[in-house]
Amino acid sequence: MLIGKGAHSPLVYPDVIAKQLTQSLDRLQTDYVDIYFMHRDNKDVPVGEFVDAMDAEVKAGRIRGPFGGSNWTKERF
C-alpha cells in the first residue's frame, strides 16, 4: 500500500496537486499511489476545486483509492 501526500505550504492550490503528485511518484519510482492526502488546506479555495483536481488524478489512474486531507477541519470535508 503506497500513500502519497501533497498540498504542502505555501503551494496549497488545486492546480499544483498534479505537479506535487508527479514529484511524489518520481521519488517513489512508481506511477500510482493507493491513497493520497492533501497535507494543508487553503480556505480561500472552494473545496470543490480540490475535489475536481483529485478526481482528475483518480481518473488518470495515478490515485487508485481514496483521497482526503490531514490538517483539514471536519466542516471542510
| 5 within 8 A of 37, measured Cβ to Cβ | yes
Residue 73 burial by Cβ neighbours in a 10 Å radius (0-12, 13-18, 19+): exposed
Closest by CA to 6, choosing from 29, 36, 49, is 36
pLDDT in tens, 24-69: 999 999 999 999 999 999 999 999 999 999 999 999 999 999 888 8
Which segment of 16-20, 27-31, 69-73 scores lowest on mean pLDDT?
A: 69-73
The Cα–Cα gap between 14 and 38 comes to 10
Q: Which residue carries 483509492 as its cell?
A: 65
**Can you give the pTM of this predicted structure?**
0.88
